[in-house]
Amino acid sequence: MPRIGAIVTAITLLMLPACFDSTQPAPGDSSIQVVNATLGWLDVSIDSRSATFGGVSMNGVSNILTMPAGLHRIRLGLAMSPTTEITVETKRDTQLTLVAYPSGSAGETGPATTVLVDTGAWVPAGRSQLRVANLAANAGAIEIWQRQPGSPAGSRITTSVPSASPYVQSDPGVWEVWTTATGSAVKTASSGPIQIPTGERRTALLLDSPAGPRFVVVAD
């Protein structure tokens, strides 16, 4: 199965789900991976059954959770905070990435969510890929840019809220993603250097935070 594509306050390259142990997954032909882009520990249950032991840490990524293809009820909860329940349809031989992130809404609300689909794109040896998911509803009028290995000039990425751009492919090496105010060349938030080895890909999530937009980078 293919691998799933203001001032920065946090960025973490999530290479291994080492922050927790998952329970034994139910047999199935589809799968979900949960990315915790909230500001606290996240508990996950699927169809009223706990999917994690001890929760998923902030900026953490779960193990791959397998299940039969079909509709599944997923509950996401933060300690001492409201929960979010959503229904997700999984498909056979397809992996979904469910991202939980701050809703940005006033009042007591659970985390917001978005589902990123594994496009099934193969990353050939000697190449790397990056996509950007814009989940920052409160970022205002901004533009998103990316710089790929071997290219000193940046190029603009267009994504609505919430949505993900297509994967961009380039040589392996150091990438960067950043934001500017519309019509400006001044960086307002940056991912910093994103090292992507040969044959691998990453997704850069642009998220709201109390200090302004921040990037979190996850390994697909």
How far, in Å, are 170, 200, 202 from residue 197 at the CA level?
11, 6, 10
Structure tokens at 185: 């060349």
pLDDT digits (tens, 9 = 90+) for 56-79: 988 888 888 999 999 999 999 876
Domains of the chain: 16-117 (2.60.40.1120), 128-219 (2.60.40.1110)
pLDDT for 80: 65
- In this structure, the number of other CB atoms found within 10 A of the CB of residue 57 comes to 17
pLDDT for 4: 37
pLDDT digits (tens, 9 = 90+) for 93-127: 888 989 998 876 655 678 889 998 876 678 999 99
Q: How many whole angstroms separate alpha carbon 208 and alpha carbon 215?
A: 9
Q: How many whole angstroms separate alpha carbon 153 and alpha carbon 135?
A: 25
pLDDT digits (tens, 9 = 90+) for 154-192: 899 988 888 889 899 999 999 999 999 999 999 999 999
